[in-house]
Chains A and B, each alone.
Chain A
Amino acid sequence: MPTLTIDGKQITVDPGTTVIQAAESMGIFVPRYCYHPGLSIAGNCRICLVEIEKAPKLQIACNTPVADGMVVRTNGQKVEQGRQSVLEFLLINHPLDCPVCDQSGECDLQNFYMQYGLYDPRFKEQKVKKTKAVPLGPTVMLDAERCILCSRCVRFTDEITKTGELGIFNRGDQSEIGLYPGKELNNKYSGNVVDVCPVGALTDRDFRFKARVWYLSSSPSVCNGCSQGCNIDIHYVTDRPHLAGGARVMRVKPRYNAEVNQWWICDEGRYGYHFIDQGRLRKVTHRGVETTWEKALMELAGALGRVKEENRQGQIGVIPSAQLTTEELFLIRKLFVDSLGISQCDARVPEKPGTSDDFLIKADKNPNTAGAVSAGLAGSSFDTPAVRPEPFGKLRAGFVEGRRPATQDERCTAAQIIDRCLAGQINVLWVFGHDLVKLFGEQTVKKLSQELELFVFQGSNENGSSRYAHWVLPSAVYAEKDGAFTNCHGLAQKFTKAFEPLKDSRADSQILTELFERLAAVGPEQAVHPSTGPAPDLIGGSG
């Protein structure tokens, strides 16, 4: 294995490692525009020039393989002068329109100018005019004048999505990024080109002009859009209600995870966050009338308590959701199944499988079906999809089956619970999150509303269920709580609360805990404290 010296420090790395990688592994940052670890090497921006002993010219760190005994300097006059001149070249035709550029504040032209530039501008000529504010498709806007032609976006559409929409046309200083005339950039991962763009050339139409990036706070999380569980950062603002109509979440960005999503997320996940601030249930209601948590929990505990113990198994149905965290699912299992003895408790609903591909998008649009399975609330295995070979190498395997409680009736799915409701066998129904109207039709849900003695909907957003349920309990979305999702490959991933639940909504765990404290007070001797009993089986995690 070659040993080399970078900035006076020695390091031994694998053969084939490049200088930029070796430096990075020592915590030495070499500036880069075209280099992206997820894409092929282009070597065109020239900002990563370093000095290598015995080489007459500066070399680009991104394409120089390490060699034993190599001596590299990432600073010093020659390197700094080289970088500075490259920056000057990159900026001569750049419009310098930072005040109106969305990238401002997270732009590597700004950043590197402050770190490595700081020269007096001397370009006195007309800049090259190119197209500006061109929508490339539904998600991305192009400003060709800001583009430094690093080709990251072109390589992304060539190498990652293999859709090949983008190209660099013409040559010399007339070179321009763009699409074939009449075509658009509209693949399932388009938004990633905005992330890979190091400057303000490609901006996100969804985020454009919503907020300056320096107002954003960031919280690491896990996408709830499907069972892949891509790692994300939620970028939000809580103290500027005049921005984006008072919404808190401004955008979602992928967060690197070698085993799950690398640097990428799909557009469905990226732009699927609007439900966090829109269409939310804000108040506890009983038959359309606003009430308080106190009253609701008292009455619901009372109602549950009135069902005779021997009738609970047959008369109460619970439909949990694989959108909930593993902790919450275990709590549901403990409280409804283990404590109250309810067997008709199952998260499997008759959903049509969603779109999927062989990359990140999974047909199961729930982030935590595996968590529901491990809590014994969704049969014994994943219904959809079959576990595919992992695209990113080794997985932390080890999802443990067989922890299901013996009482679980495997054939009892949500559809059967609804059937039993309609047949009059079940007269208390507690639904978490699901839109029963979408799943079973409006007539059915209307009928449930009329015939059930108690119909509770506990969820975060308005939907068909919230319209017909007797009781509506507003709950927090994933961004408003701590927890973990287990993805389709069995990887459990923790995430933390970004901000507080909206208005009166509460985390499901809090709602359930308080409900059962009251239930214990009204009598059922089986009630157990939520902190005892089987624990979620969390394997690893990256939150």
Chain B
Amino acid sequence: MDFKQLESEADKIIGRYEEKRAAMLPLLWLVQEKFGYIPPEGEQWVGERIGVSIAHVREVVSFYTLYHTKPIGKHHIQVCTTLPCLLKGAKRVLAQLEERLGIGAGQTTPDGKVTLSTVECLCACEAAPATQINERYVGPLTPETLNQVLDHVLKTPETHDWLVDSARAELVEARANVRPSTGSGRTEFQPYVSTEGPVLSKRFRSAEGAWFDAYAADGGYQAAKQALTSTPAQVIETVLKSNLRGLGGAGFPTGKKWGFIPKDNPKPKFLVVNADEGEPGTFKDRYILERDPHALIEGMIIAAYAIGSHKAYIYIRGEYVRPAQRFAKAMEEARGKGWIGKNIQGSGFDLEIVIHRGAGAYICGEETALLTSLEGGKGFPKLKPPFPAISGLFKCPTIVNNVETLACVPPIIRNGPEWFAKLGTAKQGGTRLFSLCGHVVRPGLYEAPVAVTLKDLIFDSRYAGGVRAGKKLKAVIPGGISAKILTAEEINVAMDFDSLMAAGTMAGSAGVIVMDETTCIVQALWSASHFFKDESCGQCSPCREGTGWVFKIMDRILKGQGRPHDLDALLSVAGNMEGKTICVFADAAAWPVQSYIQKFRSEFEHHIATGRCELAVRGELVEPRTDRHPSTNSG
């Protein structure tokens, strides 16, 4: 195997980082792009290039699901089997694929053409049931469209990428619904997406994205210009006044966070953008990256200026290929127009931006795990103290902000903090992008004031338009799969951080998963626990062991082998996981267990007593296969 041809590219990659080791993930990507998988020689080469032992390279390769140590099929079909897709028929999709391909999940067809696997949430929940075929998201998959896709996959010569024909196949990514488009007479697929703003969705209209000229014409980069002529302290003050809070899920006041950067620390400061969107039920950041990337870039310029950073990293989840490409394109535009690089617009302020791709690990959305991953390690959350603002990326002061949070910043500067604050509550300003998925009429992405009620989001015709025909609402997860579940009676609640906390759940990432009466809550919890078991990084013992334990009990109950004490055991194990680990993943894994059982106990008891599910006959939510991802596990 010849790695010489990769050397110059490797040098370029390594040169982007302050420490060589940080080039681990991109170099592994480079090898995998070249060879289709990561052979031992590739691990050796990467290790030598960055001065890391091969054992540590293998640690990383085996941690992330997107790296393969063995060749896989030319077409890799990854079926999302996390709750939002399960609710919409992921099991049917998988069965259809298995039947048509003659292989099970985790296997490759004998001709080496197709590899089939099941994966955790792709964050394409508006297009559920969704799959990822090689780099492309495809969904929603009806039996017919799935057959169309397979026709193309199977008939396409190996040298030809069927995706270039995707227009002919009338398959458009994130096809959440079908609307007749005006005039053309052709059927065009568009997901339901807010396009009216006022803060985040104004330029979401075109699926092709809003580029520099359109962004500039809409007042883009005015805020950055304004910020660069004021002081960093003034920018922070403005953001503080706006009551902008972290929209990745934690809800921490953004201005306050920026203020934590020590003024007297001589080390370089870093801005890191968390674009590792992974919370099941959430897909907002993907839209910003794809449709309005300049809003994010402008937000990054302002944030970097406010915290005194001249280097920003954006960590984009590995599955988000097109979002990363779109963002890269926007970066090139911005660079060409003098908004990235040295002496931005003659202000004397420099900013470099580096795109860093993830490789398949939900935990990397946790800000310190993201930093460890960015530094070239497994996505292990870091011990606190020290906190990232003091010692984060490369042990330097670091601010990690979510994509949506930063995209809010330019409008705040442009329209003033009072304008933004007024959109929200006394403690949380602005609007949010709410991801609506599951059993609603119109799954999609809706911008609404932060205090919109959950009821309105589900039932209002401006938003998801109600529960699907003829069915009654049963339960809602309001803030991504980690949030505690709410019953149909509990939806009259505002969606801001504080109101939902008061309601005993959380706003989280604003991913709203709606379940109608056909949903078996036991299976829903089985699915959630499967997700947390698969995604636990394995660092802290309560989480590593607890997530596996919970899943095993749930699996047994679902198989009709539940025991009378199982529910008490589940609650106790969940309680023991809470508050004892480095990060809050274990807490997030515990909350569904506690809330689903608390609110739907009789359903669990019935399952255990009878060994079967009354709803399984009617509902679509049935357990998927538990096969592991192919060829990523080391010996």
Contact = CB atoms under 8 A, between A and B. Distances in A.
Interface of A: 41, 43-47, 49, 56-58, 63, 65, 82, 85-86, 88-90, 92-93, 122-126, 128, 148-149, 163-175, 178-181, 183
B576 A88 contact: yes
Contact of B536 (A43, A173, A183): A173
Interface stretch (B87-95, B293-301, B549-557): B549-557
Contacts of B540: 43-46
Interface string B612-635: 000000000000000000000111
A172 B63 CA distance: 9
B9 interface: no
B448 interface: no
Interface core residue of A56, A63, A148, A170 (most chain B CB under 10 Å) = A170
B546 interface: yes
A49 B578 CA distance: 13
A169 B634 contact: yes
B396 interface: no
Nearest to A84: B576
Contacts of B54: 180, 183
Given A165-B55, A171-B63, A181-B634, A123 B549 contact: yes
Given A65-B385, A89-B576, A124-B563, A44 B56 contact: no
Given A166-B55, A180-B54, A181-B634, 20 more contacts: A44-B582, A45-B541, A46-B580, A58-B579, A89-B544, A89-B549, A122-B569, A165-B53, A167-B55, A169-B63, A171-B378, A171-B536, A172-B533, A172-B538, A174-B633, A178-B635, A180-B43, A180-B53, A180-B55, A183-B55
A22 B332 CA distance: 54
Contacts of A175: 538, 544
Contact of B547 (A43, A82, A163, A172): A172
B538 A149 contact: yes
A90 B635 CA distance: 22
B582 A43 contact: yes
Contacts of A170: 62-63, 538, 633-634
Nearest to B542: A89
A149 B541 contact: yes
Interface string B362-383: 0000000000000000100001
A89 B546 contact: yes
B534 to A, nearest CB: 7
B576 A171 contact: no
B538 A85 contact: no
Contacts of A82: 580
17 contacts: A45-B540, A46-B542, A46-B580, A89-B542, A89-B544, A93-B545, A149-B544, A164-B53, A164-B55, A164-B56, A167-B56, A168-B59, A168-B538, A169-B63, A170-B634, A180-B43, A180-B58
A124 B545 CA distance: 14
B56 A171 contact: no
Contact of B58 (A41, A88, A90, A167): A167
Contact of A90 (B361, B541, B553, B582): B541
Contacts of A181: 40, 58, 634-635
Interface string B545-588: 11111001100100000010100010000001101111000000
A466 B53 CA distance: 47
A171 B580 contact: no
Given A49-B580, A171-B361, A172-B547, A86 B541 contact: yes
Given A149-B541, A172-B537, A85 B53 contact: no
Contacts of B569: 122
B597 to A, nearest CB: 17
Contacts of B537: 171-172
Contacts of B43: 180
A125 B551 CA distance: 10
Given A169-B58, A169-B62, A92 B545 contact: yes
B539 interface: yes
B276 interface: no
Contacts of B579: 56-58
Given A49-B580, A180-B58, A172 B544 contact: yes
Interface string B44-61: 000000001111101100
B536 A172 contact: yes
A101 to B, nearest CB: 19
Taking residues whose C-beta sits less than 8 angstroms from the other chain, chain B's interface range is 35 or more
Contacts of B63: 169-171
B535 interface: yes
Interface string B429-457: 00000000000000000000000000000
Contacts of B565: 122
A124 B556 CA distance: 10
Contacts of B545: 89-90, 92-93, 173
Contacts of A58: 579-580
Contact of B548 (A45, A65, A90, A172): A172
Contacts of A180: 43, 53-55, 58
Contacts of B577: 89
Nearest to B628: A174
A41 B533 contact: no
Minimum-distance CB pairs A-B, first 9: A164-B53, A173-B548, A85-B576, A175-B538, A125-B552, A167-B55, A89-B545, A167-B59, A172-B536
Contacts of B556: 125
A170 B379 CA distance: 11
Nearest to B582: A43
Contacts of A49: 580
Interface core residue of B541, B547, B580 (most chain A CB under 10 Å) = B541
Interface core residue of B544, B547, B634 (most chain A CB under 10 Å) = B544
A166 B56 CA distance: 8
Contacts of A47: 541
A148 B542 CA distance: 11
Given A44-B540, A46-B541, A164 B383 contact: no
Interface string B514-545: 00000000000000000001111111111011
A92 B633 contact: no
B190 to A, nearest CB: 37
Contacts of B383: 41, 43, 63
A173 B538 contact: yes
B58 to A, nearest CB: 5
Given A89-B541, A164-B53, A174-B633, A169 B59 contact: yes
A86 B582 contact: no
B345 to A, nearest CB: 43
B577 to A, nearest CB: 8
A92 B56 contact: no
A163 B52 CA distance: 10
A337 B556 CA distance: 84
Contacts of B361: 171
Nearest to A88: B576
Nearest to A122: B569
A65 B386 CA distance: 10
Contacts of A123: 549
Contacts of B56: 164, 167
Contacts of A63: 383, 385
Interface in B6-53: 40, 43, 52-53
Contacts of A41: 383
B547 A179 contact: no
B548 A128 contact: yes
Nearest to A181: B635
Interface in B202-230: none
A47 to B, nearest CB: 8
A49 B580 CA distance: 8
Contacts of B576: 85, 88-89
B344 to A, nearest CB: 39
Contacts of A166: 55
A177 B633 CA distance: 13
A93 B548 contact: yes
Interface core residue of B385, B538, B635 (most chain A CB under 10 Å) = B538
A29 B142 CA distance: 62
